[in-house]
Structure 1
Amino acid sequence: MMNYAKRGAALLLALVFCLGLLPPAGAEGDTITIHDASGLLKLAQSCTSDTWSQGVTVVLAADISLAGTGFPTIPVFRGTFDGAGHTISGFAWLDKGSKVGLFRTLGEGAVVKNLILDGVVAPGGSQSQVGILAGENHGTVEQVTVTGDVTGDEDVGALVGVNGSSGVVRSCTNRASVTGNTNSGGIAGRNEGMIQSCTNLGEVNTGGNDAATNSGGIAGRNTGTVADCTNHAAVGYAHTGYNTGGIAGIQNGALLRCFNDGEILGRKDVGGIVGQFEPYVTLTYGEDPMERLDGALASLSTLMTQLSGQIHSSAGDAVDDISAIHGSLSAIQDVIHGTGSDFNTDTSAAADQVYDAVQTINGAMSGLLDEVDRLTRRASADLDEVGNQLTALRKGLKNLTGTLEDSLSDTGDSLSSTLDALEREHSGLVSELRQIADETDRLESFVKDALQAAARLDLAGILDAYKRWDVGSIDFNGHLSRISGHLEAMGSDTFHLADRLTTLWQEAGDEMGDARRDMDRAARALEKALDALNGHVKDFSQGSVEQLRVVNSQADIIEDVLNGYLDTLGDKGQERLDELDGHLDDISQRVDQMTQGAGQTNQELHATTTAIIGQLDEARKAIVELTEVPEKTVKENTSAEGAQSGPGRVVGCRNEGGIQADTNVGGIAGAVSPELSLDPEENLELDSENLLVDTTALLKAILYQCDNRGPVTAKNECAGGVLGRGEVGAALSCTSMGPVGADDGSFAGGIAGLSRGVLRSCAAQADVTGDSSLGGIAGEGRDIADCIAMTRIDGSGERLGAVAGWADGTVSGNYYLQEKAVGIDGIDYAGQTAPLSFGAFSALEGIPADFLTFRVTFQAGEQVVDTVEVPYGGSLDPAAFPEVPSDGGRYGAWAPFDHNHITRSLTVEAVYEDWVTTISSGGERPLLLAEGAFSPDARLELAQRPEPVDGAAAYDYQITDGAELPDTVTLRVCADGLRGSVRAALLQDGSAVPIEAERDGSYLVLTAPTAGTLLLSASGSGTLLPWVLAAAAAAVLLALLFLRRRRKKTNAAASV
């Protein structure tokens, strides 16, 4: 009995120990309430198992600080975490790693809600999938607010690093700043699921990160759906970073009803809603030649069996023929499968080599483009200077021609020959520099086309691009060598020029003083400009040597790979075709033998043999198709129906923020084009099996019913109110009201800067500025239909139009308000563009109401003081202007504007300046000064009456000012030369009313109204009038003497 008791006690003790090994909480259906940091730490320890939290509900009962606790992360959570409105603060993660945040992973079924989280997450190491709340989310996050800072490399988001395809982030707010290299967003770094009704208030990549790519106010990269979200924060840094957007940096999913009013900055592909809009691609495949061949061979085998039975009785040796035929069929199948395998292997290997080479060139292009741009910009001014000085020298020589003595004519001829040589070298220099810029553009276009072709494993397309852009003729080193030659020759010619000018002046003596000075000055300026050009070319050679080496070596690799691939393909293809033809001929001979042996009287036998021959033909056709490059067809979905569902669309979005970048800048989208930097295998998702079939790619990239109200500015080129540059896609029913400018370049439009897609039913009201290719709808476009333009064009170059600067596609049904610009490139084409008066324009169906409402908004800083509506072409009485708000005792006024003819809405800003304390009646020594608080526009007018009043000199004076004047001011009257006491009076109602006056040096000081008649007299000197007249006469005389002396100096300088 005692033994049983001992055994029972031991068992009980063991059970107790086992219970101690279980997690602190957690079983399906459990609810855990956490009050402090230790409770969160226990939760983190329990969640190292990916199943423990399933069915668990965690509720916070208090605000919790994790500062100084060394809190790790919660590894995996699949339950419900309810913050109950509480705050978790002090969370920090600075260790190495990826997939980090308060939660590393929120699994499917997880819910995190009603939480405020403050933290700093800045891991080292790989630094991907980084968020303050979670590294990755596959569950639901709602009503969560984060503050703090998050930093990482890839997939960096303030809430979550990656929101997976099943993830939902709803009604969340970010106030944290975000810094990352690739895929950085205010809510998620990368979104594959749903982000809805979220708000971002935290800056994203505003610190000047050169490596920043794909930065967005909500998501850095979006392949899912972002709906009803708002960004109020700045995204990006001036002239730095690629693919920057107010909502998404890059996307091919869906952006629906989103809003941005933050400032969006970057270098290239920058938009108020999305930086780069990739088209969504749907692939459909044609019949596989391999399957077709297999089907033909299978049918052929069946027919052969049938034929064998039919002729068995009449052809004793048919067994041998059938066996031989089956052997040939097996051999054919082996050859076919070998051909497909070799083709795939060769194609894949060649495509990989070409892709690597093109990507290497692409990597060098950015630096090369910068160097070429720098050379072109610097050399342009110097080349102009060289041309101007050569013209000046030629002009000087021409003026001398008639005055040169016969003895000097040979020197003049020699000088003319030297100028001829210099002008030839100058033309050569200009040509070489233009060719460098042209070849850089060609190389950039080839890289783009080649990457797109490589993405489809289309080696024929790569070869076509290589030939189309004539890459083999690109020779930067040759141009640099020739430029050096031109500069060397010009240096030698300049030396001879100086020598011959010296000879000419020595022989001519002093007779040609002015001409000598002008020509010597031109020669020195020419030499200086050539020295500067030499420096710029040397800088370019040194700065681009590595990029040029990369471009040349990789271009050679591409050419060698393509030629080698085509040679191999041709040799192998012909070898396999010869082998197949041999087997097919054997089958035909065997069939002929069998049919001859069986006779022609059997109709069934005849039908079978005919079918066999037909299947042989089918097999031959399939074999031929196997050696052909599959045809790839690209189509686009540009319909309004396509904007109603699915990915590849930006619908109902609005931007009110300012958008600035160097290239490809849009109020809604910076660029609509495929991303070229991705791995080609992933770009179109073509695997080796699909390479043998014809493929149709359906692209969808639709901007639908989007609205821009912010200014759009490109430093270089491609600025549009809706779209900066569109290689594909469509903008449908979009509007834009805001200025659009390409400051130092071209391609700017009210809707699109440059569009090779579709622009339909869009409306623009904009002031468009730039150099060339400027248009009310598109700077340059292709298909433009049913659009409305109310734009003013300001350009110094060519291709300027009220609808488009240029268009080369289908253009129809476009209308514009008749002001100054006209149609397309200054011409209206019937049925394409038509001008309308304001009355007819305002009656157009579908014109936005805001286009017809003109408001003058008076604004002081952020404060809107008043808004006044005016009709088109109307005026606004300055008396109706609102009062300028005070600003710390400074004078305020409304900035000047044309208030007599208002044709656009405008904002008038309050301008503040310090008050002017003293104004004068004018002159070097003013006769009258007024002291007080005056605006900068205040004036003091003084006029002497011709006759004295009551024996005193009389002066009418008046102070005028846009600002309100006081009742009285302090006046200072010049009293130089007066003796005795001076008396002052004001003329009021025809009588002199004495006023007190005191001497202050040479001025008499008194207080008087801001306008009136001043009477002055002095005892012992009669009236003041003679003295005042004498002083005035003296002042006039001094002024005349000064002007005369200055004129003499000017004339003397001009004669030098």
Structure 2
Amino acid sequence: MMNYAKRGAALLLALVFCLGLLPPAGAEGDTITIHDASGLLKLAQSCTSDTWSQGVTVVLAADISLAGTGFSTIPVFRGTFDGAGHTISGFAWLDKGSKVGLFRTLGEGAVVKNLTLDGVVAPGGSQSQVGILAGENHGTVEQVTVTGDVTGDEDVGALVGVNGSSGVVRSCTNRASVTGNTNSGGIAGRNEGMIQSCTNLGEVNTGGNDAATNSGGIAGRNTGTVADCTNHAAVGYAHTGYNTGGIAGIQNGALLRCFNDGEILGRKDVGGIVGQFEPYVTLTYGEDPMERLDGALASLSTLMTQLSGQIHSSAGDAVDDISAIHGSLSAIQDVIHGTGSDFNTDTSAAADQVYDAVQTINGAMSGLLDEVDRLTRRASADLDEVGNQLTALRKGLKNLTGTLEDSLSDTGDSLSSTLDALEREHSGLVSELRQIADETDRLESFVKDALQAAARLDLAGILDAYKRWDVGSIDFNGHLSRISGHLEAMGSDTFHLADRLTALWQEAGDEMGDARRDMDRAARALEKALDALNGHVKDFSQGSVEQLRVVNSQADIIEDVLNGYLDTLGDKGQERLDELDGHLDDISQRVDQMTQGAGQTNQELHATTTAIIGQLDEARKAIVELTEVPEKTVKENTSAEGAQSGPGRVVGCRNEGGIQADTNVGGIAGAVSPELSLDPEENLELDSENLLVDTTALLKAILYQCDNRGPVTAKNECAGGVLGRGEVGAALSCTSMGPVGADDGSFAGGIAGLSRGVLRSCAAQADVTGDSSLGGIAGEGRDIADCIAMTRIDGSGERLGAVAGWADGTVSGNYYLQEKAVGIDGIDYAGQTAPLSFGAFSALEGIPADFLTFRVTFQAGEQVVDTVEVPYGGSLDPAAFPEVPSDGGRYGAWAPFDHNHITRSLTVEAVYEDWVTTISSGGERPLLLAEGAFSPDARLELAQRPEPVDGAAAYDYQITDGAELPDTVTLRVCADGLRGSVRAALLQDGSAVPIEAERDGSYLVLTAPTAGTLLLSASGSGTLLPWVLAAAAAAVLLALLFLRRRRKKTNAAASV
């Protein structure tokens, strides 16, 4: 009995022990409280099952550190995780993998809230769907803050890598830095669901990642909704990365009421809210001709069976006819199948060849881009130098024209002709270099388009890209040849220029000394700049020879393959069509024979044969439609109603950050256009050749009631206060108040740099700078209506306008403040643009109130010292300027500005400099020095009185300074060569008051007021300063004589 009891006790203990080893069972309504890292480790072990956490609530009871615990990740979680305001720190994931974070997956129904998480997530391997909190989220995340660092390849977000279509991220904050290649965001790498009321404070891709594409302060890629979110952090790196935005890098979903004041940088397609705004596309399809043909053939088969039964007993030849008809129908099906098979085979073979060629070009593009960038950068300064020296030579020749004697006029004319030739060659050089840069960009764009089209065997798409980017006209070798020709001609012209200048100086003699020196100097500088240009072009030719050979040879291959493919396709298509038509004719003849044999009296037979003829006609029409190119219809939704719901909209967003990039730069959106991607699912391809049926595409990309207050700068082209470049879409009721510039290029506008969409009811107040195509609303536009412009245009090229530099669509009802720029390309067209005085402009309906309020803001660093309102064209008395705040004992002053005619709001910055401790009366060896604390603008003036006072020389001096001066300063008077006792006095109320003075080397040192009359005399040598002045004058005279003698020797040597 005792043994049974012992055995029972042992069994009970074993069961208890085993139960202790099991993870806690999740059940509906279970609550788990976690106090330490071991609790999280147990939770992670339990969550390897994707159903265990359903209905489970986890509550943190303390801050937890995961450092050194061996914790990896929680695989799947579908319950509620309440951080209760606590922090999890020390989380790290550095292993290989994707879909990584504290949680790998947050499933539908999961809730994570009230948590702060600090971690470092930097996986190796595939590195996609990476986040500090979760790799992917399909549940709800709210009131979560993350800090630390996250790095990955694709879909990299500080909170979550991917926020799925059912995912919600609400009221969260990021303070972590984010680095990724594709789809990188401060909250989510890719958002398909809802992100609401979130704030990003962490930098995104600010380390100069060349591969960075789709970088956003909130989401890298957005196809869902981002609402009421804010970005305060920098996004992107200067001149690096594509599709960079303060809120989203690329998007075709909805961005609503978002705000950015972080600095946004990149290379191309960069915006304060979104880098690239893809249109949302809705497709509707017409009837498929293949289905129509199948239906017609099926009906024919049924009717033929019916006809067979009707005429079986009366038509002796019917069996043969029906058999022939069935044979023709089978042949038709074979032809159709063969056509599809041949098409696929031909397309696949051609696509493979093109893909290989494009990949080869792509491999050469990196080196070619580097060489072109290097050539452009190095040659730019030299070309500017050439232009400057040609201008100097032209100016010098113009100044000489009036002084040349008749005998020298021929030489002057010859010089002028040589300068004309040099200027023509210089213009040609600039043009050729610009074309090289342009053709490189076109080739790069073609490679992008062609690779994604070839990946899905879309030869028509490749052909369209080839034509769209005009690859056939790209001729780098031709440009290099012409550049060499220009440089050779300029070298020859420069040689002749030197000869003609030498002849001119020999004939003119010495009377043209200054002009001679200036023009000789300009000629030498010109020759030096041309030598440098020659070197740069040779370097480019040598450095890019292999890349250019690859590009040229592979481009020829692509053109040959495409032409051969189209020729083959056309020949085979016509053969198939002729064959089909022959079979249909056979069927029609057989039916006619059967009808004649059966007689016309049989009504049922007549009805059947009539139906057969009808179906034959339907089949023929369907076959013809198969050979026709399906029609493509593209429509756009550009209405304000379209901005009220659904995807394809950016509504109520505001930017206050500075936006800088090379191309396509906007205060709200960098570019509005379909994305050219290697992923076919991410592309909109609407070429008619790719469609099987008639297709209608409705595009929606609307910027509505957005506001920009930040500066927008494009290094090359396409800068706009709201939109950099728009191929489609609309900007409606948007405003911009910030400077817009295209530093080295064109297409800049207060609202859009270049727009082929709709600009309606927009208002811009901006200073627009660049070369050509500059406008108050658009640098170049299409449809512009009911817009208001208050802009100043500063451009050196063509197509400059107060409303638009150029517009080729429907333009109506636009007004602008009459200042300097005019209308469209300098012309006002009735009903399109009209200038208004400030009074009339102020009365316009819908003009933003900020446009009519002009403030001068005095600011020292981040501190706003004072803000003063002034009327349009008003002035501000310097006496009313606020006092400059002190800054560590340095001298401070307000930066200079035009305070007499203020027509825009402006910010005046405090400028600080070290105090000047010594000022002088001037000269190489000053006669009088003053020591103290002076501003950089302080001046010391000295003048000798014509008559002595009480036998002493009298000198009036005065120190002037914008800063407050002390009562007395230390004066130093030059006393070189004087002996004996020197006496000093100040003239006060007409009497000499002696003052103490000491010798310090060659100077006499004394203390005196900042202004007065100084009396000086020396025993045994008379008064002091006359000797000093005489000595200084003698030194100056000797120096002039020496220089004159040296110049004569130089001229004599030059004439030998």
- TM-score range normalised by the length of the shorter chain: 0.7 to 0.9
In the comparison of the two structures, how many residue pairs are matched?
1056
Match of 2:730 in 1: 730
Provide the rounded CA distance (Å) in 2 between the counterparts of 1:413 and 1:793: 38
Hey, what does 2:301 align to over in structure 1? 301
Moved more, 629-638 or 619-628: 629-638
Going from structure 1 to structure 2, the CA distance change for 1:6 and 1:571 (only over 3 Å counts) comes to farther
Q: Is the 8 A contact 2:649 2:702 kept in 1?
A: yes
Q: Is the CA contact (8 Å cut-off) linking 1:681 and 1:687 kept in structure 2?
A: no
Structure 1 pair 64–1035 and aligned structure 2 pair: CA distance change class (3 A): same
Indicate how the Cα distance of structure 1 residues 75 and 1053 shifts in structure 2: closer, same or farther if over 3 A, else same: farther
**CA distance in structure 2 between the aligned counterparts of 1:490 and 1:102, rounded to whole angstroms:** 67
Task: Quote how far apart the aligned CAs of 1:761 are.
Answer: 1.5
1:66 matched to which residue of 2?
66
Q: State the 1:56 CA deviation.
A: 0.6
Q: Does structure 2 conserve the Cα–Cα contact (< 8 Å) formed by 1:80 and 1:111?
A: yes
Distance 1:829 1:598, change over 3 A: same
Deviation at 1:924, TM superposition (A): 5.2
Deviation at 1:279, TM superposition (A): 1.6
CA distance 1:676–1:132, change in 2 (3 Å): same
Moved more, 179-188 or 385-394: 385-394
Offset at residue 973 of structure 1 (A) = 5.2
In structure 2, relative to structure 1, the CA distance for the partners of 1:496 and 1:816 (3 Å cut) is: closer
| Greater mean deviation of Cα atoms: 1021-1030 or 562-571 | 1021-1030
1:653–1:707 CA contact under 8 A, matched in 2: yes
Deviates more, 1:922-931 or 1:707-716: 922-931
**1:552: how far off?**
2.9
| Change over 3 Å in CA distance of 1:910–1:1044 after alignment to 2 | farther
Does residue 159 of the first structure (1) align with residue 159 of the second (2)? yes
Query: 1:101 Cα deviation (Å)?
Result: 0.8
Q: Tell me which moved more, 551-560 or 310-319.
A: 310-319
Deviates more, 1:512-521 or 1:589-598: 512-521
Provide Cα deviations, 1:536-558, integer angstroms capped at 9, x if missing partner: 33322333344334423432343
- Offset, 1:744: 1.5
Shift in CA distance, 615/283, structure 1 to aligned 2, threshold 3 Å: same
What displacement does 1:1053 show? 10
1:847-881 per-residue CA deviation (whole Å, 9 max, x = no partner) reads 11111111111111111111111111100000000
What is the CA distance between 1:908 and its match in structure 2?
0.7
Secondary structure at the counterpart of residue 674 of structure 2:
coil
For 2:1027 and 2:392, locate their aligned partners in 1 and report how far apart those are by CA, in whole Å. Answer: 58
Aligned-residue identity in percent: 100
Deviates more, 1:424-433 or 1:53-62: 424-433
- Identify unmatched segments of 5+ residues in structure 1: none
For residue 403 of structure 1, report the CA deviation from its aligned partner. 19
Q: 1:1048–1:859: structure 2 CA closer, same or farther, 3 Å change rule?
A: farther
CA distances 1:681-735 after superposition (whole Å, capped 9, x unpaired) = 5523899999421222222222111111111111122211111122222211111
**Distance (Å, rounded) in 1 between the aligned partners of 2:961 and 2:525:** 51
Change (3 A) 1:1015 1:578: closer
Aligned to 2:958: 958
CA apart distance, 1:590: 2.2
Change (3 A) 1:872 1:1052: farther
CA spacing shift, 1:23–1:557, aligned 2, 3 Å: farther
- Deviates further, 513-522 or 142-151: 513-522
Q: Secondary structure at the match of 1:511?
A: helix
Contact 1:925 1:1035 in 2 (8 A): no
User: d(CA) in 2 for partners of 1:407 and 1:988?
Assistant: 67
Change (3 A) 1:406 1:656: closer
TM-score (norm 2): 0.87
Q: Distance in 2 between matches of 1:991 and 1:419?
A: 69
Whether the aligned pair in 2 keeps the contact of 1:721 and 1:752 (CA below 8 Å) is yes
Q: What is the aligned partner in structure 1 of residue 30 from structure 2?
A: 30
Alpha-carbon distance between aligned partners in 1 of 2:688 and 2:566, rounded to the nearest angstrom: 18
In structure 2, the CA distance between the partners of 1:493 and 1:430, relative to structure 1 (3 Å rule), is same
Instruction: Name the structure 1 match of 2:945.
Output: 945
- How far off is 1:909 after superposition? 0.7
Assess, with a 3 A threshold, how the Cα gap between structure 1 residues 1053 and 69 changes in structure 2: closer, same or farther.
Answer: farther
Aligned equivalents of 1:988, 1:866: Cα separation in 2? 43
Change (3 A) 1:644 1:557: farther
8 Å contact from structure 1 (residues 344, 688) kept in 2: no
Change (3 A) 1:323 1:371: same
Q: Secondary structure at the match of 2:951?
A: coil
Q: 2:973 — aligned with what?
A: 973
| 8 Å CA contact 2:265, 2:659 repeated in 1 | yes
Deviations 1:134-162 (A, max 9, x none): 11111111100011111111111111111
Deviations 1:105-163 (A, max 9, x none): 11111111000001111111111111111111111111000111111111111111111
- 1:471 deviates by 3.6
Whether the aligned pair in 2 keeps the contact of 1:456 and 1:686 (CA below 8 Å) is no
Deviates more, 1:861-870 or 1:386-395: 386-395
Q: 1:267 is matched with which residue? A: 267
- Pair 1:497–1:955, CA change in 2 (3 A): closer
Output the CA distance in 2 between the equivalents of 1:1028 and 1:506.
44
* 2:877 paired with 1:865: no
What whole-Å deviation, never above 9, does each CA across 1:348-383 have from its counterpart, x for those lacking one? 665565466546545654543443354355557767
CA distance in 2, matches of 1:530, 1:895: 40
Deviation at 1:499, TM superposition (A): 13
Deviations along 1:996-1034, one digit per CA (max 9) or x if unpaired, are: 555556655544443445566778999989889988988
Equivalent residue number for residue 487 of structure 1? 487
Moved more, 408-417 or 816-825: 408-417
Classify 1:55/1:966 alpha carbon distance in 2 versus 1 (closer, same or farther; 3 Å).
Answer: same
More divergent stretch after superposition (655-664 vs 499-508): 499-508
1:952 touches 1:1025 (CA, 8 Å); kept in 2?
A: no
Tell me, yes or no, if the aligned pair for 2:674 and 2:684 is still in contact at 8 Å: no
Q: In structure 2, what is the Cα distance between the partners aligned to 1:687 and 1:190?
A: 28
Distance 1:198 1:360, change over 3 A: farther
Please give the alpha-carbon distance, in whole angstroms, between the structure 1 residues aligned to 2:540 and 2:124: 38
Name the residue aligned to 2:602. Answer: 602
Distance in 2, Cα, partners of 1:519 & 1:953: 48
Deviation at 1:953, TM superposition (A): 5.9
Q: Deviations over 1:258-303 (max 9, x none)?
A: 1111111111111111111122222111110012112223333444
Helix, strand or coil for the counterpart of 1:207? coil
> Compared with structure 1, are the counterparts of its residues 66 and 796 closer, same or farther at alpha carbon in structure 2 (3 Å cutoff)?
same
Cα contact 2:953–2:1024 (8 A) shared by 1: yes
In 2, the alpha carbon distance for the partners of 1:422 and 1:255 equals: 54
Q: Distance in 2 between matches of 1:156 and 1:345?
A: 40
Distance 2:989 2:518 in 1: 69
Q: Deviations over 1:875-895 (max 9, x none)?
A: 000000000000011110001
Alpha-carbon deviations, 1:581-624, whole Å to 9, x = none?
23322321222122212333455654543333222111101011
Q: For the Cα contact (< 8 Å) 1:421–1:493, is it kept in 2?
A: yes
How has the CA–CA distance of structure 1 residues 392 and 680 changed in structure 2, closer, same or farther, with 3 Å as cutoff?
A: same
Q: Which deviates more from structure 2 when the two are superposed, residues 585-594 or residues 415-424?
A: 415-424
After TM superposition, the structure 1 stretch with the greater mean CA deviation from structure 2, 873-882 or 946-955, is 946-955
- 1:243·1:270 contact (CA, 8 Å) conserved in 2? yes
**Are the aligned partners of 2:927 and 2:973 in contact in 1 as well (CA < 8 Å)?**
yes
Mapped contact 1:918–1:929 kept (Cα < 8 A): yes
Deviation, 1:52, is: 0.7
Could you tell which deviates more after superposition, 606-615 or 973-982? 973-982
| Secondary structure of the structure 1 residue equivalent to 2:1045 | helix
CA distance in 1, matches of 2:245, 2:400: 63
Kindly tell me: are residues 891 and 397 of structure 1, through their superposed partners in 2, closer, same or farther at Cα, counting changes over 3 Å? closer
Post-superposition shift, 1:28?
Answer: 2.4
**Which 10-residue stretch deviates more, 904-913 or 740-749?**
740-749
Post-superposition shift, 1:326? 4.2
CA distance in structure 2 between the partners assigned to 1:773 and 1:344 by the alignment: 46
CA distance in 1, matches of 2:464, 2:753: 28
Q: Are the equivalent residues in 1 in contact too, given 2:393–2:519 (CA < 8 A)?
A: yes
Question: Distance between the aligned counterparts of 2:864 and 2:35, measured in 1?
Answer: 48
Does structure 2 retain, via aligned residues, the 8 Å contact 1:336–1:623? no
Aligned-partner SS, 2:691: helix
Contact 1:344 1:691 in 2 (8 A): no
**Alignment check: 8 A CA contact 2:277 2:669 kept:** yes
Q: 1:110 to 1:1050 in 2, by over 3 A?
A: farther
Matches of 2:990 and 2:79 in 1, distance apart? 97
CA 1:866 to 1:489, structure 2 compared with 1: closer, same or farther past 3 Å? closer
C-alpha distance 84-399 of structure 1, shift in aligned 2 (>3 A) = closer
Question: More displaced, 1029-1038 or 936-945?
Answer: 1029-1038
Higher deviation after alignment, 387-396 or 788-797: 387-396
Decide which moves more: 662-671 or 139-148: 662-671
Contact between 1:455 and 1:683, CA under 8 Å: does it hold in 2? no
User: Residue 233 and residue 384 in structure 1: after superposition, are their counterparts in 2 closer, same or farther (change >3 A)?
Assistant: closer
